[in-house]
Structure 1
């Protein structure tokens, strides 16, 4: 796994440098953090003793870029400590921590040991993808890519648990921000079986019917089930009247 990790990090570094360059070149192409506090929060996390290996970028000042410009370099940190700020807080900046694991199950264990994520991105064969989806919980799963689900209007976008509640996009967003009004219309000639308090006779019927053998019920058919239920209601009410007469 460690050799694969080195190959992945090397490709990530190459792709970043090909697209953005580094230092002043990257600063000309990249946008800035929303405010000085956001930039300082990320730079502070990079300056702490996170224990990781810096492969690209970092917290160093970039020549020609003023501190007030709120610029954070594209940064790759390999194997930071699991209790470091980089691994315990959401980054929301151009910093990618890379953890080396010995197996897929170890990666799953790390995911499940933290708050439920907004999305899980999986680059793996189908059996591994199925295993990851069955073993984790997240707002979304993207196979073979990252973040692209947010731009797909056909997919509901949102988190779960600590990553957020609710969904937006298309019909999911319409339903999320609509107030569905529940209307129940039933005839007044028959009492509702859901009303309270429940008649003891009907309660016994429900209990008896629920405890009938599923195999026996399957052999009865729909008409037989209705007749059996009516017979139970009749018997239960006759018994209740007999007891009240005594």
Structure 2
């Protein structure tokens, strides 16, 4: 499908959250996907991922994850300086900011006349955790999390003491978890903790591990694996089609 792009400022309890939205050009109502970025915010690879998903008949909304901390439109570089800033903000941002942004974006999308009201979440790295956490909201019908960091350690947000892992049983929609076995950020022991917890809580999920490094979906840099990325996008489309379009 051909898509259109627009920028919106989503009202939150603090400051407006700049969000880039891709959606089909065709008239009609479509389900929404909240797509969360890595620590670098809305980079080229993230926006291209959003375009990929929107072309399959979804409204894909990409919020700036550090809307409370950085000037709207700030994009961090994929270098040591950008990594340092992004990681520091990951640990300095209050968990209430991440949660409030998700709740505000859900309300925004469900008010739009082009949205069916069905909502899914998707994200990479930090965004994989944020998508997973946003899926704890009862309005979310499906989640696709790519190598979500800090879920097993509970170290997301100010104080490094979030409760995402403990709340796994609150997931009500289908969740797809994707990991790289050579990812040092989420080692085998961490993945096993998450897998066991999801099994114990009887949530609906699929689990996929590939021989790949962290950020293997990012279409820049030496870790990119285009063959696996194509496969994973296909699986993500299937999850959202099954749960948001039925």
More strand by share: 2
Length-normalised TM-score, structure 1 = 0.29
Length-normalised TM-score, structure 2 = 0.29
Decide which structure has the larger Cα Rg and report it.
1
More helix by share: 1
